[in-house]
Amino acid sequence: MCTNITELEDFQTFITDILIRNKSILDQTTKLQDACTHLCRTISKAATTCGCITIDATKQQYTFSENTSLDQIKDLMSTHVNGKMCENCQELLEKELGRVLFYLGAISNTFNISLSEVLQKEKYRTEILGKYSLK
């Protein structure tokens, strides 16, 4: 865990050092939107162009008997993804995830927010609620 926090801090410092062209918050927010769009597109293309995965979206069941445990409900919910991404699609997805992280880091830097602290606070909030956070 500590290693990841240090890596995030190093990443934010790296972003500060190299970010010149997209210094404006308007550039950063629109670049983040663009990165999110490309991330979603990469997942779609893995299914529609490459075919290494299929996405079989069906209605999720949200009504359960009162005896159904949260663990059972978790198992009954679906990602709607079948198969495993091929190496090429996985690499593209990782690249797009990296771009999302980059612009999240840039926005965080602009407002002097530590991504490490954001991560810790989010984890803490989610741990308090546990499975009841319903994320």
**Closest separation between CB of residue 22 and Zn ion, Å?**
30
**Closest separation between CB of residue 109 and Zn ion, Å?**
34
Residue with smaller CB distance to Zn ion, 42 or 116:
42
Q: What is the CA radius of gyration of the chain?
A: 19
**Closest separation between CB of residue 69 and Zn ion, Å?**
35
Residue with smaller CB distance to Zn ion, 33 or 54:
54
Q: 3-state class of 65 per DSSP?
A: coil
How far is the C-alpha of 71 from the C-alpha of 67, rounded, in Å? 11
Which x/- pattern over 55-94 shows residues binding Zn ion (rule: CB under 5 A)? -------------------------------x--x-----
Which pair of structure tokens corresponds to residue 50?
């490459």
Residue with smaller CB distance to Zn ion, 3 or 49:
49
Residue with smaller CB distance to Zn ion, 49 or 67:
49
Residue ranges in 9-28 that form contacts with Zn ion under rule CB under 5 A: none
Of all helices (H) and strands (E), which one includes residue 53?
A: strand 53-55
The answer to whether 82 and 53 are in contact (CB under 8 A) is yes
How far is the C-alpha of 93 from the C-alpha of 95, rounded, in Å? 5
Residue positions counted in the chain: 135
